[in-house]
Amino acid sequence: MIMIKQSNSLLFILLLLLIVVVSLSCIINAASIKTTITTTTIESSNDKINNLIHQLKLSNIKSLKQSNHQQQHNEQQQHSNDANSNANVNVNEQTFLFNVNGLGTLRGVQSFIDNYKSFKTIPYAKAPIGELRWSDPQPQPLPFVDILDTTQFGPMCPQNCLLPHGLCAQNQSEDCLSLNIFTPFNISTTTTNSSNNLKPVMVFFPGGHFDQ
């Protein structure tokens, strides 16, 4: 009887151990399966995030290319417009030389569209700068030794310009004692003393005192 009881006890213990081992194995397998599922889920989420980042990069690159293409198109259009504008100016206007007795030779502009000739920034006195500042105007030495370029407007005298936008000169300077002369297109390229060649003249005198 004692032997049978001991044998049953051993069997019971072995059975308990077997149950414990099986339970532990199940727990370990469940934990492993859960870890695998979690890892798979994380990897799937990472793949989605990477795909989203890749799509955003592609979208940004596409937008940047479109922006650069539009900017290049605008620059090309602007260059084309500038070229057309310069071509029109070159066609409509032309420089020419005009000899004035006692003054010298001037390079002016003649307009074939508006039928006039212009001579801009002809100095009538020395620039009142340096030692000549706040002193009486000094006469301009004549005639001019070289051909005087009168194709561009010079700076206007310092003043508070209240004219509409685009009518005030961009540059102001004390070196502004000059004349802008506009004449009819059919003016002769040589001057004579004949009264038949004289034209009416309209003169504008600046107000001074830094006023417009």
Task: Say if residues 210 and 156 touch (Cβ distance below 8 Å).
Answer: no
pLDDT number for residue 191 = 53
How far is it, in rounded angstroms, from Cα 158 to Cα 211?
8
The amino acid occupying position 184 is P
Task: Say if residues 179 and 124 touch (Cβ distance below 8 Å).
Answer: yes
pLDDT number for residue 15 = 74
Rg, Å, the chain Cα set: 47
Q: What average pLDDT is seen over the chain?
A: 75
Segment 18-50, tens digit of pLDDT = 777 767 777 776 666 656 665 666 666 677 777
Return the domain boundaries, the chain.
1-55, 92-191
pTM here is 0.51
Segment 129-169, tens digit of pLDDT = 999 998 998 998 888 889 999 999 888 888 888 888 877 77
Alpha helices of the chain — where are they, by DSSP H?
Answer: 2-92
Among candidates 186, 189, 167, 30, which has minimal Cα distance to 100? Answer: 189
Average pLDDT over residues 102-125: 90
How far is it, in rounded angstroms, from Cα 173 to Cα 71?
37
pLDDT number for residue 86 = 46
